[in-house]
Amino acid sequence: MHKATRNFWLDGALFLALLGVIISSLVIDNKDPNLLVWGLSRPSWVIVHIVAAVTMLTGSTLHLVWHWDWVQAVFARAPRPRPQAVRRNRLVDLWLFGLGLLLAVSGLLIWPLSGNLDEGNPLAAAPLLGMRVYDWKQLHAWGAVLMFGLLALHLALHWKWIVTTARRVLLPTPAKTGAATLAEE
């Protein structure tokens, strides 16, 4: 398979997982324990959230591995500064990586107290690795806001690639002439 085609399908899967993370985060932002959305209870939405988040973060690791040549090239020493577009992508990708780690760690730490994380709840005030559990929840929530913003920027910076590749992969190509087919063989 063409390398760009393979990246396109992984990026599409990442985008679907991201939608799952966004929707589930919006639902569980509501603290009502009796909440029911689309037939699912709040605890079920927390499971949806964790499954979508783990899929997105694992998929992002594969995504990073498939771009490892790029990563090595842009972080290697170079005699001249990189073009601005490359430096910009490098910075955004570095932030995405750091935020992904922060969200995974803070998410796993708050998981055992899920459903009891609103301020004022004595369980949320319990200390955990130098902070209140509630503060870890706040870090998770604000880190997520930054992550969503940066992912939107990440997609905007690659928009041209997304549109061109989507056209090439999804739209039927005109039938090849015999000569073109022979030339490819």
Other C-beta atoms within 10 Å of 178: how many?
7
- CA angle 113–118–122, rounded 5-degree value: 70
Find the shortest distance in angstroms from Cβ 39 to ligand HEM.
Answer: 19
For the CB of residue 77, give the shortest distance to ligand HEM in the complex, in Å: 19
Write out the binding residues for ligand HEM, residues 50-79 only, by CB under 6 A: 50, 53-54, 56-57, 60, 63-64, 67, 70-71
Kindly state whether residue 97 participates in binding ligand HEM, applying the rule CB under 6 A: yes
Residue where the block lists tokens 């796993």: 108
Closer Cβ to ligand HEM, 131 or 148, answer by number: 148
Query: What Å distances lie between residue 5 and 59, 80, 89, 147, CA to CA?
Result: 16, 32, 21, 26
Please tell me the count of residues contacting ligand HEM according to CB under 6 A.
48
Element (H, E) at 131: strand 131-132
Q: Which is nearer to ligand HEM, 58 or 181 (CB)?
A: 58
**185: burial class by Cβ within 10 Å (0-12, 13-18, 19+)?**
exposed
Q: Which residues inside 113-152 make contact with ligand HEM, applying CB under 6 A?
A: 114-115, 117, 137, 140-141, 144, 147-148, 151
Q: What six digits make up the tokens of 8?
A: 């396109």
Member of 23, 38, 134, 158 binding ligand HEM (CB under 6 A): 158
Interface residue with ligand HEM among 23, 48, 104, 131 (CB under 6 A) is 104
Q: What residue type is assigned to position 87 of the chain?
A: R
Q: Give the Cα separation of 152 and 126 in Å (integer).
A: 35
Distance CA 102, CA 53 (A): 12
If one counts every other C-beta atom within 10 angstroms of the C-beta of residue 29, the result is 9
Which residues of this chain interact with ligand HEM, rule CB under 6 A? 7, 11, 14-15, 18, 21, 25, 28-29, 46, 49-50, 53-54, 56-57, 60, 63-64, 67, 70-71, 89, 93, 96-97, 100, 103-104, 107-108, 110-111, 114-115, 117, 137, 140-141, 144, 147-148, 151, 154-155, 158, 161-162
